[in-house]
Chain A
Amino acid sequence: MRRLRDALVVAEQDLAESLRSRRALVLLGLYLAGALAACGIFVRVLQEVEGVVADQLRVARTDRPGAMTQRLMESDELRRVLQGLIGDAELVQELVQIPPMALFYGWVALTFVPPLVALTSGDTISAELSSGSARFALFRTDRTAWAVGKLLGQGALLGVGVALGALGAFIVGWSGLLSFEPGRNALWLVRLGLRAWVYGLAWLGIVMGAGQLTRSVPKARGLALGALVLIGTASALLGTGWMLERAPVLAPTVHQLLPGAHQLNLWRPELVRRAVSVIALLSLGGGAFALGHQRLLRVDA
């Protein structure tokens, strides 16, 4: 109970600290600016595509895109094309229900959350160890409560970043898309934002676990980015048919130990499969964090 209370106190301090520091504000700004820019580009592309289609059909172009895309999303043709690509009728059914802007935001968030997590949180613990500011806390609480507090604080910061990104997508969609349904979009942005957050938490555990292996800030950043590249590459390789042919049992088993293997399940409509993936992702993040923490428990602060 004392540990939990301490971890929550540290988390509260860490979040406030991150928001006070200019670096975190810049990075949160990047979340928002990135979402605004990506969604803005998405709207422009839709506008161009719809314009070309309108020209082909010899009908008037619309001021704002969206109507044609929305209709396309509801069409059986697209559903058939997607089913051919993905091969999963239930998943396709779920995807075509998502408003285009929310769908795009979900894809962007799930793709870019890992590198952003590595940039914002990889050196959180090592920075405090190298400056010595951790020492003021470490004779007041134990190392596990302190480190878990840091993890929770960064998890909350990630939540703020993901929420800002969703807000950016909502603003761009509302102002740039025709037939934008605010309520439905807001609901899907929240749903997909939460899933991106959970996915980000898995990566957060990995980068903060790696960050506990050293007290040097540059090394911690290097380890976080290295872990990102290594796991990303391994995940891509293990999912290929070439690997599955050569290691039909080992490749999928090892793949399950990487966050990328659970990303697609976050889009699935079945609650059970999503829940299993959420548990798997949180366990992977927690496990990696715990592994790295073993070193922090042994070293001098």
Chain B
Amino acid sequence: MTLALRLRGVQKAYGKVQALAGLDLDIPRGAAVGLVGPNGAGKTTTFGVIGGLVRPDAGEIDILGGGAFDPGTHRGRVLLLPQDSELNPHTPVRTLLVNLARLQGMTRGEAGRAADGVLDEVELRDRGGFRVGQLSHGMRRRIAVAQALLGSPELVLLDEPTSGLDPALVMRMRDIVRRRRGAITLVISSHVLSELEAVCDHVAFLELGRCVRQGQMDEVTGRTRRVRVVLAKAPALVDVVAALPGLRPRLEGASVHLLVPEGETVASVNRRVLPGLISAGMDVLEVSLGEGLEAAWMEGRGGREETSA
């Protein structure tokens, strides 16, 4: 597996607050990675360290095989949507994007074409002549995302790209990210885990400045090995066990949780589960894979809290 990003033992403290406490992180090339963690977990500092905005105290960083961030090596190849950063309000939108593209090494003509391209992508071409300060919050956010897509970046870091946006804009942003998925390496942080689940194929959980878990989204959410069946009413466990021989169901109210046994697939389990439950007189309302990113995250937190207790 070729890595786009490799962090080893990265540390960063702000006074007495340890924002990163030996962070290890591997981001495969071409992956769309969701960075998940509570406030203060170190997500923004991680983005800052990768983008060269924050000076780490210790650790190793390798970006696209070229070592730690260096504008000479990485400019235009690594782009970032920084959190809580305001675009200059006096500058016209297109001029701003052209200027930033020129700083990536493009000529004025190339920069103009790149700016028009990303303005099309965020559907704000008609606002190109407006000053940034004249735009709504949502539009400014889209422009901020657009600048992170200028040119041909290989690694794009988006820190809370949908924060403060209404649902329609969130969907539009999701589409923008989806269009780029696979072509570039994306690292996205968000508190909206369903959004990350919909867009990302990898996930990394950060807590207290460390990566506590990372892997493929399907693996982490259990999509490849967990089946959840929602019944019309809560059954007795003995009835479910009797209806599903060879499986070891776990009951949570009206939800039946099943682990796919070794050597079987989700499809083969489903072939047995549905007829078994229906023939036992249970009404099936929903069958879903895995437990969702939110549940995986909470489960992990619960486990860690128990361990630490």
Residues of A at under 8 Å CB distance from B? 2, 6, 9-10, 13, 16-17, 20-21, 128, 131-133, 135-142, 145, 298-301
Q: Given contacts A20-B90, A136-B87, are A141 and B54 in contact (CB under 8 A)?
A: no
Give complex CA distance A138, B82 in Å.
Answer: 11
> Which residues of chain B come closer than 8 Å to A133, judged between CB atoms?
85-88
What 8 A-B pairs are tightest by C-beta distance, nearest first? Answer: A132-B85, A140-B103, A135-B82, A139-B51, A301-B53, A20-B90, A300-B54, A142-B71
A-B contact pairs, 18 of them (CB 8 A): A9-B103, A21-B90, A132-B82, A132-B86, A133-B86, A133-B87, A133-B88, A135-B80, A135-B85, A137-B100, A137-B103, A139-B69, A139-B78, A139-B79, A139-B80, A140-B104, A141-B71, A301-B54
Interface residues on B, range: 20 to 34
- In the complex, are the beta carbons of B82 and A141 less than 8 A apart? no
Contact with A along B69-91 (1 / 0, CB 8 A): 10110111011101011111011
Contact with A along B9-40 (1 / 0, CB 8 A): 00000000000000000000000000000000
- In the complex, are the beta carbons of A136 and B54 less than 8 A apart? no
- In the complex, are the beta carbons of A142 and B91 less than 8 A apart? no
Residues of A contacting B: mostly: helix
Does any Cβ of A come within 8 Å of B48's Cβ?
Answer: yes
Q: Given contacts A2-B72, A9-B99, A137-B100, are A298 and B90 in contact (CB under 8 A)?
A: no
Which of chain A's residues has its CB closest to B90's CB? A20
- In the complex, are the beta carbons of A141 and B88 less than 8 A apart? no
Which of chain B's residues has its CB closest to A142's CB? B71
Give complex CA distance A10, B53 in Å.
Answer: 18
In angstroms, how far is the closest chain B Cβ from the Cβ of A141? 5
In angstroms, how far is the closest chain B Cβ from the Cβ of A23? 10
Which residue of A2, A17, A136 contacts B82 across the interface (Cβ within 8 Å)?
Answer: A136
Q: Given contacts A17-B91, A132-B85, are A140 and B75 in contact (CB under 8 A)?
A: yes
A9, A21, A136, most chain B CB atoms within 10 A: A136
- In the complex, are the beta carbons of B99 and A141 less than 8 A apart? no
